[in-house]
Amino acid sequence: MIFLAELLSFLIKTYIFVIILHIGISWLIVFKVIDVNNPQARNLIALLQKATDPVMKPVQRYIPPIGGIDLTPVVVIIGLQILNSMVWKILV
């Protein structure tokens, strides 16, 4: 059971890293460090959106942006951290 807990924990932490990477890339786009006309940049953005949208979009329906800032990633990361701790409590 410890192996399963470690595997699920690794997957959750990897997904959290993908969300943080998506946030960082979106900031770089806003500050015009990354040009969205570049095909590689568009591919990276599309890949990150495909990875994060299934979890982020349902949460965005309930949490509107506050002052132009989207708090959805923070809520999702906190939820994933809670899920991670529940995995360890249940399986170990």
Q: Who's near 35: CB < 8 A, 6+ residues apart?
A: 41
| DSSP string of 13-76, one letter each residue | HHHHHHHHHHHHHHHHHHTTSS-TTSHHHHHHHHHHHHHHHHHHHHHHTTS--BTTB--HHHHH
Domain map (residue ranges) of the chain: 2-91
pLDDT value of position 76: 97
Round the CA-based radius of gyration of the chain to a whole number and report it.
Answer: 15
| Alpha carbons 21 and 11: distance in angstroms, whole number | 15
User: Model-level pTM?
Assistant: 0.92
| Tens-digit pLDDT string for the chain (92 aa) | 899 999 999 999 999 999 999 999 999 999 999 999 999 999 999 999 999 999 999 999 999 899 989 999 999 999 999 999 999 999 88
